[in-house]
């Protein structure tokens, strides 16, 4: 910054000095020319006057008769007085007398008829000439006048010559004075330019310094200037510009933060690519779906990051046509999910400059839709079977079997069993719907879990004895839990009921508890046929049965384990199962300790 400032000051000083130099040089040149011309003019005028005086003193007869003695005496007397060289020539140009030459030397002088000033004088005009004198080795000023006789006859010429050395000395003196004045003016100009440039450079340096701060993003820096000229106005303008930029940048940053927060929190995946299909930005959801980070994806081609040609084709179509595209895709890699992809073009100056992809994960929606369809189908199937049986036996009774005393009671007992099954199914559906609505209020209290389990086991006493099942309650006598006693009783009843129903004859059931990370884990273990591995993930779904025929035969509705799951989750716990086919099952649930 200092180097640039010095360059500016140097250029400004040089500019001032050049202005003074050119101005003063121009003035000096014209002044010198004008002075020289005026001096020559004055000298010429003076010589012409003196030449007239001398011409009046020459007697024409002496000049016509070429009385050299008289003429030589005359010019020798007048020459020193007027401090000029006087030369007299006849009408043919021959030199008759010269104030600075002897008579012998005059005789040896060449004819002057060809001299321009003599030629002009012999033609009756005043002759003027500045010429280098080979005799005196200096520039000479020559003035010649015609000498007329009777009847204006030109009988000769008188020439006055004056060396220009005096003029040169005078001009040199003037030039020295002008040069000294020039040096003084140049010095003053240099000092003044230093002062002026310093006054200009200081605020400009402040402006440069502030501008550098602005370019680095520091808009808090202000330019202080007390001048009211254009520089002061520039400083005020830059301060106002910096304030406006700071306000705009803050506004953009706030909007950008809002946008980033929105993108970060969106459950939908967002991908922005440029017109060359290079990724500009992705949000964290995309990173979770495709297992990539923003740093890994940014600046790379889409296919380098996400190797899916279907999505690439959507991007290419949008970039080519600029039209919105919405499509549903099933991905098998890197995750097996279903997505709804909305792609729209990003325009700049009415030209497609990129593409915005919004990826909605609709896997759960599709799964729920499948579950809903399955639920409707299962409910319809579960209702249809007992209703068909009831309808069939009612029609049988109405057609005459009512009077059949041996079978009518059997038919009625079957109708009663199916009616109870329908009642259980409807009650379980209502209970499950109530639990799923999350509007249920648990009536929590502290109670002894072992005591409740013993009461439930007592209710299954006849079934346990019938199947010769050994049941062991290993719950601690003092184990107390907090929860909705009736709902947790429903959980235990379902699990114990299933353990009895799907156990083998002379099997065993064990109920025990474990404490794990601040939770208590209650497990109902049986020695039944176990559950195939493929069925374990779906065992808690509504109406899902491992052995459908046996489940219906035993009177199950297929909703018990689903109800168990919802009740336990309402208590802040989890349910699970550990089982191997042929080795029994362990159904467990957890509760806060």
Output the 3-class SS for 53-84: HHHHHCCHHHHHCCCHHHHHHHHHHHHHHHCC
**Mean pLDDT, residues 486-504 taken together:** 89
Q: Look up residue 111 and give its DSSP letter.
A: P
Rounded Cα gap, residues 245 and 239, in angstroms: 10
Q: How far apart are CA 513 and CA 525, in angstroms?
A: 11
Task: Tell me the mean pLDDT in the region 520-541.
Answer: 88
Q: How far is CA 265 from the centre of its chain?
A: 23
Cα atoms found within 13 Å of the Cα of residue 28, Cβ hemisphere only: 19
In this prediction, residue 556 carries a pLDDT of 55
Using the predicted structure, report yes or no on whether residue 206 has a pLDDT greater than 80.
no
Average pLDDT for 396-420: 78
Q: Using CB atoms within 10 Å of the CB of residue 201, give its burial: 0 to 12 exposed, 13 to 18 middle, 19+ buried.
A: middle
pLDDT at position 550 is: 46
**Distance (Å, rounded) from C-alpha 246 to C-alpha 241?**
8
pLDDT in tens, 305-317: 888 888 999 999 9
Token representation of residue 245: 């930029």
What pLDDT was estimated at residue 438?
66
Q: Does residue 258 have a pLDDT over 70?
A: yes
331 alpha carbon, distance to own chain's centre: 34
Q: What's the Cα-to-Cα distance from 417 to each of 321, 380, 395, 550, rounded to whole Å?
A: 67, 18, 17, 16
Average of per-residue pLDDT across 23-34: 81
pLDDT at 502: 87
Total count of residues recorded for the chain = 593
Range name among 257-261, 433-437, 522-526 with the lowest pLDDT average? 433-437
Token pair 């006048």: residue: 145
Domains annotated for the chain, with CATH where assigned, are 2-170 (3.30.450.20), 266-361 (3.30.450.20), 366-435 (1.10.287.130), 441-592 (3.30.565.10)
- 3-state SS assignment for residue 100: coil
Contact 574, 591 (CB under 8 A): no
Among residues 458, 513, 468, 524, which one has the least CA distance to residue 491? Answer: 524
Cα within 13 Å of Cα(343), Cβ side:
28
Q: Residue 549 above 50 pLDDT? A: no
Least confident of 86-95, 227-236, 296-305: 227-236
| Interatomic CA distance for residues 55 and 362, integer angstroms | 131
Name the pLDDT band for 14 (thresholds 50, 70, 90): confident
**Least confident piece of the model among 72-86, 376-390, 566-580:** 376-390
pLDDT confidence of residue 24: 79
**Contact call for residues 548 and 562 (beta carbons, < 8 A):** no
How far CA 566 is from CA of 162, 432, 480, 561, in Å, comes to 136, 8, 22, 9
> What is the rounded CA–CA span in Å between residue 475 and residue 149?
171
Q: Which of 480, 437, 431, 271 is nearest to 359 (CA)?
A: 271
pLDDT of residue 524: 94
Band of pLDDT at residue 560, cut at 50, 70 and 90: confident
Token readout for 6 is 């010095």
pLDDT over 60 (residue 303): yes
> What confidence score (pLDDT) does residue 381 get?
65
**Between residues 583 and 206, the one the model is more confident about:** 583
User: Is the pLDDT confidence value at 2 over 70?
Assistant: no
Q: How confident is the model at residue 590 (pLDDT cuts 50, 70, 90)?
A: very high
Q: What is the pLDDT of residues 427-449, one digit of tens each?
A: 766 776 766 666 677 888 999 99
Structure confidence at residue 1 (pLDDT): 43
Q: What integer is the mean pLDDT of 528-551?
A: 74
Secondary-structure percent of the chain, ordered helix, strand, coil, rounded to 5: 55, 20, 25
- State residue 214's pLDDT score: 76
Check whether 64 has a pLDDT greater than 90: no
Q: 10 Å Cβ neighbour count for 577?
A: 18
User: What is the phi-psi region of residue 517: left when phi exceeds 0, alpha when psi lies from -120 to 50, beta otherwise?
Assistant: left
The C-alpha atoms of residue 259 and residue 273 are separated, in whole angstroms, by 17
Q: Mean pLDDT across the chain, nearest whole number?
A: 83
Of 337, 333, 340, residue with least CA distance to 314: 340
Q: Which residues contact 479 (CB under 8 A, 6 or more apart)?
A: 448, 449, 450, 513, 520
CA 261 to chain centre: 19
Question: In the numeric block, which tokens belong to residue 592?
Answer: 């806060």
Out of 65-74, 103-112, 141-150, 310-319, the most confident range is: 310-319
**Where is pLDDT greater, at 542 or 162?**
162
Question: What is residue 362's DSSP assignment?
Answer: -
pLDDT in tens, 505-522: 889 999 999 998 889 999
Cis omega before residue 334 (within 30°)? yes
Place of tokens 């940048």: 249
Q: 163-188 burial, b for 16+ CB within 10 Å, e for fewer? A: bbeebeeeeeebbeebeeebeeeeee
Q: How confident is the model at residue 585 (pLDDT cuts 50, 70, 90)?
A: very high
Q: Report residue 447 CA to chain centroid gap.
A: 65
């Amino acid at each position: 910054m200092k180097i640039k400032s010095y360059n500016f000051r140097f250029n400004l000083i040089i500019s001032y000095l050049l202005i003074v130099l050119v101005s003063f040089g121009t003035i000096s040149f014209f002044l010198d020319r004008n002075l020289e011309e005026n001096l020559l003019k004055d000298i010429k005028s003076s010589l012409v006057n003196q030449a007239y005086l001398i011409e009046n003193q020459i007697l024409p007869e002496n000049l016509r008769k070429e009385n050299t003695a008289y003429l030589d005496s005359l010019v020798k007397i007048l020459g020193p007085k007027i401090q000029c060289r006087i030369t007299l020539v006849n009408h043919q140009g021959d030199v008759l007398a010269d104030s600075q030459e002897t008579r012998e030397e005059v005789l040896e002088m060449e004819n002057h008829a060809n001299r321009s000033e003599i030629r002009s004088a012999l033609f009756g005009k005043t002759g003027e000439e500045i010429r280098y004198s080979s005799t005196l080795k200096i520039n000479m000023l020559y003035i010649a006048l015609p000498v007329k006789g009777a009847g204006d006859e030109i009988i000769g010429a008188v020439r006055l010559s004056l060396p220009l050395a005096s003029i040169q000395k005078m001009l040199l003196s003037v030039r020295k004075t002008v040069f000294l004045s020039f040096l003084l003016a140049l010095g003053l100009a240099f000092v003044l330019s230093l002062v002026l440039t310093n006054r200009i450079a200081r605020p400009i340096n402040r402006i440069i310094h502030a501008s550098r701060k602005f370019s680095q993003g520091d808009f808090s820096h202000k330019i202080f200037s007390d001048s009211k000229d254009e520089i002061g106005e520039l400083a005020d303008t830059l301060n106002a510009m910096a304030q406006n930029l700071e306000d705009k940048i803050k506004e953009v940053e706030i909007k950008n933060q809002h946008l980033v927060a929105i993108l970060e929190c969106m459950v939908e995946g967002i991908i922005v690519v440029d017109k060359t299909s290079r990724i500009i930005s992705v949000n964290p959801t995309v990173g979770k779906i495709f297992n990539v980070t923003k740093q890994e994806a940014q600046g790379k081609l889409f296919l380098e990051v996400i190797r899916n040609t279907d999505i690439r084709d959507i991007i290419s179509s949008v970039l080519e046509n600029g039209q919105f595209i919405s499509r549903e895709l099933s991905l098998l890699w890197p995750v097996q999910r279903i997505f709804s992809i909305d792609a729209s073009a990003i325009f700049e100056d009415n030209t497609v400059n990129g593409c915005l992809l919004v990826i909605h994960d609709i896997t759960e929606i599709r799964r729920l839709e499948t579950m809903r369809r399955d639920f409707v189908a299962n409910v319809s199937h579960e209702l249809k079977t007992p209703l068909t049986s009831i309808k069939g036996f009612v029609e049988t009774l109405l057609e005459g079997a009512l009077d059949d005393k041996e079978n009518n009671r059997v038919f009625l007992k079957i109708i009663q069993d199916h009616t109870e099954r329908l009642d259980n199914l409807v009650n379980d559906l209502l209970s499950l719907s109530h639990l799923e609505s999350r509007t249920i209020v648990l009536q929590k209290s502290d109670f002894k879990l072992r005591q409740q389990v013993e009461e439930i086991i007592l209710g299954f006493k006849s079934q346990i004895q019938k199947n010769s099942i050994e049941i062991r309650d290993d719950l601690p006598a003092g184990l107390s839990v907090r929860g909705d006693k009736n709902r947790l009783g429903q959980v235990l009843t379902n699990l114990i009921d299933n353990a009895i129903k799907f156990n083998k004859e002379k099997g065993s059931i064990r109920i025990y508890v474990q404490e794990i990370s601040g939770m208590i884990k209650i497990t109902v273990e049986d020695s039944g046929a176990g559950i195939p591995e493929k069925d374990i993930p779906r065992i808690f779904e509504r109406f899902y049965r491992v052995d459908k025929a046996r489940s219906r035969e035993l009177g199950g509705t297929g909703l018990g384990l689903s109800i168990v799951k919802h009740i336990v989750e309402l208590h802040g716990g989890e349910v699970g199962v550990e089982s191997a086919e042929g080795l029994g099952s362990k159904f467990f649930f957890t509760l806060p300790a």
